[in-house]
A and B are shown apart, each in its own frame.
Chain A
Amino acid sequence: MPKKLTFQRRSEDEDIKASGMYLDLDELGKKGAMSAADASIAKWYGIYKSRQPGNHMARIVIPGGVVTSEQAKNIATVAERYGQGIVNVTTRQALQFHWLKVSNLSDVLRDLDEYGNSTKHGCGDVTRNVTACPLAETCPSRRLNARKWAQKTSEVLGAARDLDDLPRKFKINYSGCSADCAQPHINCVGLSGVIHNGKPGFKVVIGGGMGWKAFVAQPLFGFIPEDSAVDVCRAVAILFREHGDRFNRAKSRLKFVVHRKGIDFCREVVLENLKAEGKSQDGFVVESVLDEGAPFDERPLLDDTPLGTDGLHTVRIIVPKGELPFGRFYELAKLAEQYGDQRLYTTNRQNLEIHGVAPHDVAELSAAINKAGYLTSGSFTLRDIVTCVGTTYCPKAVTETRVLFDKIHRLVSSDRYAGILSSGIINITGCPNSCSPYRIADIGFRGMRIREEEGSVEGYEVLLGGSQTSFGQKLGDFKLIDCEAVVSLVLDEFLRVRKDDEFLTQCVRRVGIEHFKGVVYGEV
């Protein structure tokens, strides 16, 4: 019989989703392999295929970026048992295992569940891990406690079965103030604390995103009362569910909806969605409002041991490449029990933090952390390089980002640049998906291969002068062997032309990218 003609053209992933979004991981484990369709649905369980055939990654959802020390120990144990002993911190404050085998997946999830850890909705077309600025509860410049709302949002949206099948992933984050440490401008929904008419609430932006086509988020509301935050997130999710592109997966994120339909249309739909569900819109202000809170630092994360409003300190743990052996992770969890508030906090620089450290304990804890093999200083500096896992694990990656990490880390650690360490950040990503958001860094690298006369070699597109609200400008494409020299030329020139205490990004904007291009290409 001839095949029946059909004229619907939704993407294959949509077909797979429509055929049911549940897996029996125990049965799959017995079978020992996943089909392509199984692998698509496994994302809803937080499981991705790794670059190495037969291996998988599982991502633990950590709303607000905080785990108890007990949960951390549980994670370390699971990593030891199933994941070749490795724990990774992600740029969206989650934790990941690699090297998991299909036959172990169900055991991994069960073992995690024992201490309340879950990978559910770690990946897939759902609301992903809701992140928050790391110092949420005690930051002196906070307008409200962002973490509380991040966790609440995660709980409500994660439990909403009508939001299980979005056109693509949906990312939300919360910042306590407009310093925007949680990076609201590059997420689907970004909420930043403001004070308006004496009341705390949020400024809401939507439609930001990195990926192959990057967009800066656009303002949805100038102010909403904090109680409405979860409702607004849900209303935006419904907007996305109804208007996202289910035909072309490459253009299905909310950022394309906002780009295509316009922010005003989106706002109307969001307000309608709120109305339809009987949610209050009292106190909503569309236009941007004057924040009545106290002034804040532009880059608050630079402080190594910030003092919270509770009189206690935060001690930062710089995790190179975001990867820890399980033993050290366990050790850090123990330190959090001894010196901190019995919790480990994750940051979007792939680092960890211990909060609630008494001033007199700071030195001792720092020493203990150093002894465990980690620096406690240098957060948000040139040395605090964020890199995706690259070809080490990721099937999408083009380059081995960790090689570049080592080269650049060695370079910026030299004495020559000691004076400008805190003047910028460096992000390295292995492909255009931008898991490490290279466009918002002072120096950003994106992996590529560069054609030669015969064959091709690893290289990077280098951007300079990025920020959340204004992406970096292209310096050029460079082979891996030249990247160190390029950064060195850039930093040397920065040293020469830097004015006062300006950041690298400010300097690039001031003197222009062409100037830096001239320097790098040897024309100046």
Chain B
Amino acid sequence: MMNHELKMIPAREPPVMAVGVLAWIRNNLFASTLSIVATLLIVYGLFLSIPPLVQWALVDATWFGADSNACNREGACWAFVTARLDQFIYGFYPAEHQWRPNLFFAQLAVLVLWLSLKWTPGKQWVLGYSLLLMPFVSWFLLYGDLPGLEKVETHQWGGLMLTLLLALCGMIASLPFGVLLALGRRSNMPVIRSLCTAYIELWRGVPLITVLFMASVMLPLFVPEEVVFDKLLRALIGIILFQSAYMAEVVRGGLQAIPKGQFEAFNSLGLSYWQGMIMIILPQAMRLVIPGVVNTFIALFKDTSLVLVIGLFDLLAIIQAGLNDPAWLGNSVEGYLFAGFVFWIFCYGMSKYSQRLEQQLHQGR
């Protein structure tokens, strides 16, 4: 007999092994024989390596001291880092003027926060300041030679300050060149197109180190004898030449993503090439390429460490120099770990930021 009365089935709890912590552990750690073996091996490996590492780096470590002798040989000698921290940050910048680099750092922190937080107003003005004025303001702040600001020669600059300055200036200066090169590579004019392509492929095809050699050795030959570039400026020129080629490729990617209809629309409205590019195409393209720009910035930030080979003292070079100090021999591991840690914080932070931007872009479409 058909029973017309519908009997509702109440929702029941799932089996214990299907949800919750136990299920997660089973599915993610012990799913198969191979998985079990891998889990056990990794746990054993971590058990062997982590405790001694913690013991060395934290428990037995010496944090402060005047030289290597103050350090406990069983643990890490962080005293090397703490004793020279000033140098690692400011290079040989005179101590009484260190408020200037501090101001530079503070300015960067404010700008970065301002641009990355959601609720801050006037982002376009801040961005404009960062891209147009900030490099010059920073330069005059650090270099001085103005009334009230004493001159500090660039050979006294170094450490983290120099690393940041090189990366930022290289990046910001290469942006406009990159945009122009990208437009040139997409141009209808064959001569301009091939010139831009040749430039881009040339710099992308050679290692940065040869570019830096070129900038430091050949650049003085290229200009009249009276013109003297200082070492920092030469490195910066090399970096900009190199970086603008990479920037151009990133921007080109953005330009290619703009539909053809946008070009036709501004043409049919009677806007000229440059009007259309500046008001229609570039604003859209630049928004698309921000993640790519951040990624090339990360690459450049890491690459600034190469200035070591032409005798500038960026963060890595100054640590490397500190390792040869007779008072601090045998602390290379601590030095490199510190440098690695600082670079890692910056690069990892930026790569997370760029990933977040990329996700936002995908959601926005």
| Bound pair (A, B) | no
